[in-house]
Chain A
Amino acid sequence: METIKLTIDNRAVEVPRGTTINKAARLLGIEIPVLCYMELKDMNIENKPAGCRICVVEVDGRRNLAPSCATNCEEGMVVRTHTTRVLNARRTVMEFILSDHPKDCLICAKSGTCELQSMAHKLGIREIPGQEIAAMSTYRLDTSPSIIRDLDKCIMCRRCEMMCNEIQTVGALSAVNRGFMSAVAPAFEQNLEHSTCTYCGQCVAVCPTGALTEVDHTPDVLRALADPSKTVIVQTAPAVRAALGEEFGMEPGTLVTGKMVSALRSLGFDYVFDTDFAADLTIMEEGTELLDRLNRHLSGDKTARLPILTSCCPGWVNFFEYYFPDLKDVPSTAKSPQQMFGAIANTYFADKIGVNRKDLVVVSIMPCLAKKYECQRGEFSTDNNPDVDFSISTRELAAFIKQANIDLNNLEDDDFDSPLGESTGAGVIFGTTGGVIEAAVRTAYELQTGKKLERLDFNELRGLEGVREATIDFDGLPIRIGIAHGLGNARKLLDDVRSGKSQFHAIEVMACPGGCIGGGGQPLHHGNSEIIKARVAAIYAEDKKKPLRKSHENPFIIKLYEEFLGSPNSEKAHHLLHTHYFERKKKIVVKH
């Protein structure tokens, strides 16, 4: 590899050709500040509009300051990162951004985690000249079921646009207008709700400011907890336990399962359950569906469509309803674990404890913003009573715990309640890309072959590669598996399914890069992919620790079928645990 020698702040450094000044400086431990720039290393995610100019440096022999995030190193370059000229320019840029930015940090949802706020702090900004004269541009507040857009706080870093267009290929957001009125918005500046937004929340996950935030449902949860006539139960998604600790200063990748259960109990939930239980249930239903389609296909039944696609991610469901409605009979009909949990809680469990579903409040803690929308979908409620009442994100839970003066760090571990809190390692790995299909393989293999699986860790299905494929030997029968995370990667596999090129038997899709551990409701990663990797490792570690690691071995799942559902894919199971999809593609209609 060709390398280049240069000096930065009088220190020599050698880097491969194509390295930016900013990255070269980082190798020397010099952190040149960035604002619009964001990179998730090893995940092919980079935002480089060179727009904000906060990262400028002086390069000897050049008249203009250079944006270090977008300027490549050259042989013999002499770079200075903190001359008076550089520091003044940086301050001017910051003052300019702040002159058109609201000053209500005290009550902003991003306060404390806002990158603009910390940049202002880092640069020591103490006054904003000219703000009395400049009228601030204002925009209409947009509230959708999952996301709030407060564009007064938008700094045009365009990270959200990059996520929505390049990574997710949804294209709901684009830079619009010019000058002070420029913003990132859906077409015709309509509300997100009227766009093709999937509510994956990836725009929220990268927004440096309070311009994009989640709809906060903690006040609703608080109200339900305070109401003595309600029985309030909670389910926690697998990815939450691998990230919640970050909000309390713990190392990324610290598992806080037991402490989280304690905290939820202190908050006053009557039963603390686990979405992992419902994930095991999902495997029973989805796995059975897979085997049914597979065996019918093998016996020559042309109506059995393959590949089967996983359907546990509501962001992904929204995506194919908009973009691949012609393929809507390809995904599994199994509901997501969140909704399976809700359906079982309001029937089987409500009966068990003798509570009417009207008095049962089901709360979910999710790494996900699409789940907020999902639980409001009409098909997931009975007589206007939703199966899942409120869905709050990992971030909202962290804030809720802090508000209640609970010190997560010093809590004793506690266990989930039975029966809807019992799960296997297969349920846990739902939280990461590749996990759902690995869980399905563990069960489908044994059900199909009647043999015991010797090896439970399928390393060939793991990793962060955007599209992965593997063939698993089902005792002589090769099962071809595809995995995609990020909707742009999913689109590639879907295009092949549409054109008939796809050779897979089963495909797992997660809307968020990394899977749910990288979900739109997780603690902010601020462009550090090491955090995401640490969460993945935590998920697999939790799986390894579990005495049972195959969904069909979960005794409480077995009991649920014996006592209530009959068998997987039974009529009752279909009624409660499966769903159907809608065509939501835009239609062009002829006007007469």
Chain B
Amino acid sequence: MSSIKIELRQEDIEKIREICGSFGKDPQELINVLHKCQEHFGYLPAEVQEVVSNELDVPVAKIYGVVTFYSFFTMTPKGRHPISICMGTACYVRGAEKVLDEFKKELGLQVGQTSKDGKFSLSSLRCVGACGLAPVVLVGDKTYGRVAPDDVRNILKEYE
């Protein structure tokens, strides 16, 4: 019957408190608070949700409910080289899905997953506004345009 413990680094706790504070600790601002937390940490691990729950006085089950309902929230850390494939209309009609399938096959990952060694993670995006270059793939900050399934292997090679 011990109490439940949540472990987190001091600076992380303070960062979450700061974010919650900047929204006046208002439970109505939960989604915005989570956005900011995800921006900072890259993802929303259970510990972060627990601290947000404490700060905003919202049950952690509710927070987890929100995190799992919206696809833009994730509980898995991004890889060192996060790969995002644009699924906007232009990219889609020019074969983005085939490109995505190729990445899935090469990496053995599903969308939303991170490779075991933490190197790559895979996600899809709504239109990034580079439709002229469709289909578009982002790896970290770098943009690749007019990507065909055959290019996938070469792109990955750059990060070996």
Residues of A within 8 A of B (CB): 165, 170-178, 185-189, 194-196, 377-378, 582-591
Known: A171-B61, A187-B60. A588 touches B1 (CB 8 A): no
A174 touches B4 (CB 8 A): no
Question: Does B46 count as interface, using CB distance less than 8 angstroms?
Answer: yes
Sample of 19 A–B contacts (CB below 8 Å): A170-B59, A171-B59, A171-B60, A171-B62, A174-B61, A174-B64, A176-B61, A176-B68, A176-B69, A187-B49, A188-B46, A196-B59, A584-B2, A586-B54, A587-B3, A587-B4, A588-B6, A588-B13, A590-B8
- What distance in Å separates the Cβ of B143 from its nearest Cβ neighbour in chain A? 30
Instruction: Give complex CA distance A194, B5 in Å.
Output: 11
B3 proximity list for chain A (CB < 8 A) = 582-587
- What distance in Å separates the Cβ of B76 from its nearest Cβ neighbour in chain A? 13
Question: Does B7 count as interface, using CB distance less than 8 angstroms?
Answer: yes
Across chains A and B, which 8 residue pairs bring their CB atoms closest together, nearest first? Answer: A171-B59, A174-B61, A174-B65, A187-B60, A187-B61, A187-B64, A591-B7, A176-B65
Question: Does B142 count as interface, using CB distance less than 8 angstroms?
Answer: no
B62 touches A174 (CB 8 A): yes
B62 touches A588 (CB 8 A): no
Q: In chain B, what residue has the closest Cβ to A583?
A: B3
The A-contacting residues of B in range 21-66, CB under 8 angstroms, are: 46, 49-51, 54, 58-65
Since A187-B49, A588-B8, A588-B54 are in contact, a sample of 18 more A-B pairs with Cβ atoms closer than 8 Å, ordered by chain A residue number, is A171-B59, A171-B60, A171-B62, A178-B68, A187-B46, A187-B60, A187-B61, A189-B64, A377-B1, A582-B1, A585-B3, A587-B3, A588-B5, A588-B6, A588-B13, A589-B6, A589-B8, A590-B13
Over the window 120-144 of chain B, the binary record of Cβ atoms lying under 8 Å from chain A Cβ atoms (1 yes, 0 no) is 0000000000000000000000000
A175 touches B4 (CB 8 A): no
Q: In chain B, what residue has the closest Cβ to A173?
A: B61
**In the complex, which of the residues A175, A177, A586 has the most CB atoms of chain B within 10 Å of its own CB atom?**
A586
**In the complex, which of the residues B2, B9, B64 has the most CB atoms of chain A within 10 Å of its own CB atom?**
B64
B58 proximity list for chain A (CB < 8 A) = 171
Question: Does B10 count as interface, using CB distance less than 8 angstroms?
Answer: yes
B9 touches A591 (CB 8 A): yes
B59 touches A165 (CB 8 A): yes
Dominant secondary structure of chain B at its interface with chain A: helix
Instruction: Give complex CA distance A171, B66 in Å.
Output: 14
Interface size on B, residues (CB 8 A): 26
B61 touches A586 (CB 8 A): no
- What distance in Å separates the Cβ of B7 from its nearest Cβ neighbour in chain A? 4
A172 proximity list for chain B (CB < 8 A) = 59, 61
A186 proximity list for chain B (CB < 8 A) = 61
B1 proximity list for chain A (CB < 8 A) = 377-378, 582, 584
Instruction: Give complex CA distance A187, B7 in Å.
Output: 17
A586 proximity list for chain B (CB < 8 A) = 3-6, 50, 54
B9 proximity list for chain A (CB < 8 A) = 590-591
Instruction: Give complex CA distance A170, B59 in Å.
Output: 8
A165 proximity list for chain B (CB < 8 A) = 59, 62
- What distance in Å separates the Cβ of B80 from its nearest Cβ neighbour in chain A? 22
Instruction: Give complex CA distance A587, B8 in Å.
Output: 11
B8 proximity list for chain A (CB < 8 A) = 588-591
Instruction: Give complex CA distance A590, B65 in Å.
Output: 26
B6 touches A177 (CB 8 A): no
Known: A587-B6, A589-B6. A174 touches B46 (CB 8 A): no
A188 touches B69 (CB 8 A): no
A587 touches B5 (CB 8 A): yes
- What distance in Å separates the Cβ of B37 from its nearest Cβ neighbour in chain A? 15
- What distance in Å separates the Cβ of A555 from its nearest Cβ neighbour in chain B? 38
Known: A587-B3, A591-B7. A188 touches B13 (CB 8 A): no
Instruction: Give complex CA distance A528, B79 in Å.
Output: 54
B64 touches A589 (CB 8 A): no
- What distance in Å separates the Cβ of A524 from its nearest Cβ neighbour in chain B? 24
Instruction: Give complex CA distance A174, B58 in Å.
Output: 11
A188 touches B64 (CB 8 A): yes
